[in-house]
Amino acid sequence: MNDSIDWNNLGFQYMKTDYNVRCYYRDGKWGEIEISSSDQISLHMASTCLHYGQEAFEGLKAFRGKDGKIRVFRMDENAKRLQKTSEGIMMAKLPIEKFCEAVKKVVKLNERFVPPYESGCSLYIRPLLIGCSPRVGVGPSTEYLFLIFVTPCGPYFKDGFKATPVCVIRQFDRAAPLGTGTYKVGGNYAASLVAGDLGHTMGYSAVLYLDAKQKKYIDECGPANFFGIKGNTYVTPKSSSILPSITNKSLQQLAKDMGMQVEQRPILEEELAEFSEAGECGTAAVVSPISKVDDYDLIDPNKEHPFVPGDFKCNKTYEYCKDGKPGPVCTAFYNKLRAIQYGDEPDTHGWVTVID
């Protein structure tokens, strides 16, 4: 265990650890997994990742249990999603086994950075895949670098499990219906920076995006999927522009286990008024209850970007958690998911890999 870290005050930010792992794709094949203690990489200045966005990443976590064992959550799902992303932007596909071997290796090598059980924190695992051969004409790379670094992390939203407000800002889209929204590529996050910054300045934890084409349906929250609770039903958007969240997939299973119905379908914005609870879910966000959704539009429809908060008016508010507390279903999901991840409850779905 690393004694110099204040485990109880970890945020969600980069901290250097002992090692990262790397694997190169050259001459049409993947090489061996290499271990590095440097957090720098050397790149050709004409690399396709720098010019044409051939960049994909993943995010998963390792947890230290009460029994001292380290568990990684659903890494095979992240491996599969990276393959889908690779197909989506024409990158070499990393075999699932290689991905899992690299995750196990990097976690083991950095064991002393996995936060203690009592802290409620975890080790965030960040795989990255980039095109690194030089090209000036637009086209895919012939060489790729896959790497994974890890960093101990606390909650993504500052105060942990707490209900926070989100906003709809109609002047921004995150991803196009037939674009790259279903892939975990850096460009989607670049596209969300301005709206995210504006949302934060206006006091919201995240921006809730509507579908880009019709601006009628719920897509997802900045770094997380959306879900709503209606009676005994878990409702989550079906959309061609959102990331298929592994946390969401897990919550759908947990909802069924709890005897709830699950519906994955388009959700009209007005339906927000019919949910008893709403939440965001993701690896970083875990389960984050939404206290309210404020829907903003421009006061002057002719105003052009750059926007400032004073350019907007809130037309509609959907409120949850009127007492300020997370609702019972969000709380049950949060507790159940974390109990499985930390090994407090049996892993009945085979989601967890113990690192030994």
Q: Among residue numbers 33 through 62, which ones bind ligand PLP (CB under 6 A)?
A: 59
Q: 152 or 223, CB closer to ligand COI?
A: 223
Among residues 164, 309, 307, 150, the alpha carbon closest in space to that of 224 is found at: 164
Q: 131 or 282, CB closer to ligand COI?
A: 282
Q: 12 or 30, CB closer to ligand PLP?
A: 12
How far is 328 from 71, CA to CA, in rounded Å? 27
Please identify, among the stretches 88-96, 207-215, 218-226, 263-271, the one whose residues bind ligand PLP according to the rule CB under 6 A.
218-226
- Binding-site residue total for ligand PLP (CB under 6 A)? 12
Please identify, among the stretches 39-47, 106-114, 131-139, 279-287, the one whose residues bind ligand COI according to the rule CB under 6 A.
279-287
Tell me which DSSP letter residue 7 carries: G
Task: Provide, rounded to whole angstroms, the least separation between the CB of residue 120 and ligand COI.
Answer: 17
**Residue written as tokens 């086994």?**
97
**If you write DSSP's letter for every residue of 124-139 in order, what string do you get?**
EEEEEEEE-SB-SSSS
**How many residues would you count in the chain?**
356
Considering only 92, 284, 290, 337, the residue that binds ligand COI (CB under 6 A) is 284
Q: Among residue numbers 156 through 195, which ones bind ligand PLP (CB under 6 A)?
A: none
Q: 114 or 260, CB closer to ligand COI?
A: 114
The answer to whether residue 152 forms part of the interface with ligand COI (CB under 6 A) is: no
How far is 133 from 145, CA to CA, in rounded Å? 10
| Tally: H helices and E strands in the chain | 7, 18
The answer to whether residue 219 forms part of the interface with ligand PLP (CB under 6 A) is: no
The mark string for 234-263 relative to ligand PLP (x by CB under 6 A, - otherwise) is ---------x-xxxx---------------
How far is 36 from 21, CA to CA, in rounded Å? 6
Q: 150 or 260, CB closer to ligand COI?
A: 150
The answer to whether residue 116 forms part of the interface with ligand PLP (CB under 6 A) is: no
Count CB-CB contacts under 10 A for residue 170: 14
The mark string for 53-82 relative to ligand COI (x by CB under 6 A, - otherwise) is ------x-----------------------
Considering only 155, 223, 279, 327, the residue that binds ligand COI (CB under 6 A) is 223
Considering only 165, 199, 282, 326, the residue that binds ligand PLP (CB under 6 A) is 282
Q: Please give the C-alpha separations between residue 124 and each of 148, 150, 193, 281, 284, in angstroms, as whole numbers.
A: 10, 6, 21, 16, 8
Considering only 154, 165, 196, 223, the residue that binds ligand PLP (CB under 6 A) is 223
The answer to whether residue 282 forms part of the interface with ligand COI (CB under 6 A) is: yes
**If you write DSSP's letter for every residue of 18-80 in order, what string do you get?**
S-EEEEEEETTEE---EEE--------TTBHHHHS--EEE--EEEEE-TTS-EEEE-HHHHHH
CB-based closest residue to ligand COI: 59
Q: 132 or 337, CB closer to ligand PLP?
A: 337
Give the list of residues 6+ apart from residue 343 with CB closer than 8 angstroms, or none: 63, 65, 66, 67, 69, 71, 352
Give the list of residues 6+ apart from residue 102 with CB closer than 8 angstroms, or none: 21, 23, 33, 127, 146, 148
**What is the binding site for ligand COI (CB under 6 A)?**
59, 223, 282-284
